[in-house]
Amino acid sequence: MLDTRFPLEKWLQHLRFNKVKRYLKGHVLDFGGNKGELRSYCPSDYTLVNYDHSPLYGQQFDTIVSLAVIEHLTLEEINTVFARFKSCLKKNGSIYLTTPPARAQFILEGLAHMKLLDAENLL
């Protein structure tokens, strides 16, 4: 979960939101969306899923976003999540993911060491 006690966490979240906001259409699923901060960017229906995946069952979504989440999942969890995404994404729907590039790891670790980012989010 995003810890806003660290100065750069909120700023990085804002950058991710700006990358995807123009693509948010219809009913949006925010997978791993922390406290639902993306809601204010969504044009209509919004569903937040963190640890309880039950909202993924019985609903259909036009847009699925998972911002800076997938890198925290095991391969088995990724396969399970993507199978669920496939079953609940409407025809012609879209999925948007962000994840930090491997080359950024050194920088992120340095920022965490300086207490500007939450080191827990780098795992």
The neighbouring-strand residues paired with 90 are none
CA triplet 82, 54, 30: central angle to 5 degrees?
60
Query: Of 23, 40, 47, which is closest to residue 98 (Cα–Cα)?
Result: 23
| Selected residue with higher pLDDT from 65 and 8 | 65
Structure tokens at 34: 């922390």
Contacts of 25 (CB under 8 A, 6+ apart): 43, 62, 63, 94
Q: What is the pTM of this model?
A: 0.85
Query: 75-116 pLDDT, tens per residue?
Result: 999 999 999 999 999 999 999 999 887 787 778 778 778 887
CA 75 to chain centre: 17
| Rounded average pLDDT over 45-60 | 92
Pair type for strands 46-49 and 61-67 = unpaired
Coil/strand/helix, residue 62 = strand
